[in-house]
Amino acid sequence: MEKKGLITPKKLQGFWELMPKQQIYFSSLLNKLENVFQQNCFVPLDTPVLEYSETLLAKSGGDTDKEVYRFTKGSTDMCMRYDLTVPLARFVSMHKEELSFPFKRYQIGKVYRGERPQKGRFREFYQCDADIIGNESLSLVADAECVNLLEKCFDALNLEVEIHLSNRKILSGFIAEIKKEDKSNEILIVLDKLAKIPLSQAQAQLSELGLSTSESEKIINLAKTTGNIKEINQKLGNFCLNSLFQEGLSELNEVAKTLNLFNSKTVTFDLSIIRGHNYYTGTVFEAFLKNKQNLGAVGGGGRFENLCNYFSDKAMPGVGMSIGITRLFDLLMEQDYFDLSKTNDIDCAIITFDETFNEGLKLVTSLREKGIKAETFYENKTFKSKMKEANRRQVKYVIIVGEDEIKTEEYTLKNMQTSEQYKLKIEDLIEKIKSDRM
């Protein structure tokens, strides 16, 4: 029975959109993350969503090109960003002379990937990144700082995590030792899947890549090495004398030591951590929710040798961390993890009668000026329908404004959850509602 000319309103498939209560909760999480970043002296950056295709696709290849939203307008070939790292590289390259290094920036912004929509994957989602970029060199303190920052982020989100940390140079050093550098990426891809595929399958794949049975066994054992830093040193100190391997081990020790100074509590060492991107070159880490390991890594990061190699021949080494906050929120929301009942947009509703409506609005004004989210349901005409609306919207407190209340300047505050009632002066009302919000 559609009216002629009407359009059925639709949201694009695979795009994420929250209802108000969910959005209030989600926004509060983003605010918490921002506070952590600022507290740790990271500065905000807000790059455009669109970039020249030439800039954005400089380093990419393969899948990125297919997934990216690319189009021309006039004679300009442009793309929507698919991550926040390439825009960072563009920004740092353009403003190298004006910025202070190490440059510590965070960015929370939407990115776009036109991939097939599936559970937990969206075509538009928030990336939440913090990176430290050095000018030609960068201390390993920065690596520890990013790992610690990720811990602090989850702490602020009130989520218990364990961070698994490795250094890619260890596995890469072993691969160099057995002279398989040319297959390094392929080998790491197999090792990255160890937890998901049967051992025999991994062995078969490594054998196809030219590893002997003993080499396969050794590298699989290596990748399965976990423990605290002391245990790692005991297990690996004499495992392989390759210099890259030893450098990785020494870097791992340096990061472990610095993490102690940062008061880090949740890090364990785990050589199976590789992270997909092949641009990571040293420290790599991933965060897993305690008791929810099945969700996979919910954050991670690592060290890269050169952020800007497509834009400049000066090395800009960096280390960063990232949280897939959209996917994380979506998965936890599905498990009813969040108590959305606490995200009320209204602290209290002012319920008036016809003849006290104006006084009600004045009270709303005073309460809002004092920081109370007060609402009066001006669309509901009768006392009864206003009360009903307050109930429907699960407002915790109502304040009843009758003619007596105006005369005595004492209002009836009713807690809708407990049905308790109080007669209070306006200052005491405010006190009561505010103390209850804590």
- For its own copies, the binding residues in 344-363 under the rule CB under 8 A are 345-346, 358, 361-362
Contact segment (CB under 8 A) with its own copies among 165-173, 284-292, 296-304, 369-377 equals 369-377
Q: Does 142 bind its own copies (CB under 8 A)?
A: yes
**DSSP state for residue 356 in the 8-state scheme:** G
11-30 residues in contact with its own copies (CB under 8 A) are: 11-12, 15-21, 23-24, 26-27
Q: Does 102 bind its own copies (CB under 8 A)?
A: yes
Q: Does 228 bind its own copies (CB under 8 A)?
A: no
Q: Does 241 bind its own copies (CB under 8 A)?
A: no
Cα–Cα distance measured from residue 259 to residue 285, given in angstroms and rounded to the nearest whole number? 13
385-404 residues in contact with its own copies (CB under 8 A) are: 389, 392-393
Q: Which 3 state secondary structure label does DSSP give 363?
A: helix
Q: Does 153 bind its own copies (CB under 8 A)?
A: no
Which of 60, 94, 121, 428 touches its own copies (CB under 8 A)? 94
Number of residues lying near its own copies (CB under 8 A): 93
111-130 residues in contact with its own copies (CB under 8 A) are: 112, 114, 124
Per-residue burial over 289-313, b if 16 or more Cβ lie within 10 Å, else e, is beebeeeebbbbbbbbebbbbbbee
Which of 64, 93, 203, 253 touches its own copies (CB under 8 A)? 93
- Give residues with Cβ within 8 angstroms of 250, minimum separation 6: none
Neighbours of 403 (CB within 10 A): 11
- Give residues with Cβ within 8 angstroms of 432, minimum separation 6: 413, 422, 424
263-292 residues in contact with its own copies (CB under 8 A) are: 263
Of residues 53 and 203, the one with the C-beta less far from its own copies: 53
Which of 64, 139, 225, 246 touches its own copies (CB under 8 A)? 139
Least Cβ distance, residue 255 to its own copies (angstroms) = 13
Residues 172, 174, 176, 179: is their CA dihedral positive or negative? negative
Contact characters 175-204, its own copies, x per CB under 8 A: ------------------------------
Q: Is 349:389 a contact under the CB 8 Å cutoff? A: yes
- Give residues with Cβ within 8 angstroms of 113, minimum separation 6: 67, 68, 82, 123, 125
Least Cβ distance, residue 330 to its own copies (angstroms) = 14
**DSSP state for residue 183 in the 8-state scheme:** G
Least Cβ distance, residue 374 to its own copies (angstroms) = 8
- Give residues with Cβ within 8 angstroms of 92, minimum separation 6: 99, 103, 133, 307, 308, 316
292-311 residues in contact with its own copies (CB under 8 A) are: 308, 310-311
Q: Does 41 bind its own copies (CB under 8 A)?
A: yes
Torsion angle of the four alpha carbons 276, 279, 281, 282, in this order, in degrees rounded to the nearest 10: -60
Least Cβ distance, residue 209 to its own copies (angstroms) = 30
Q: Does 407 bind its own copies (CB under 8 A)?
A: no
Which of 85, 127, 242, 258 touches its own copies (CB under 8 A)? 258
Cα–Cα distance measured from residue 195 to residue 395, given in angstroms and rounded to the nearest whole number? 48
Cα–Cα distance measured from residue 388 to residue 380, given in angstroms and rounded to the nearest whole number? 9
Which of 157, 321, 374, 430 touches its own copies (CB under 8 A)? 374
Which of 76, 207, 213, 234 touches its own copies (CB under 8 A)? 76
Helical (H) or strand (E) element with 330? helix 325-334
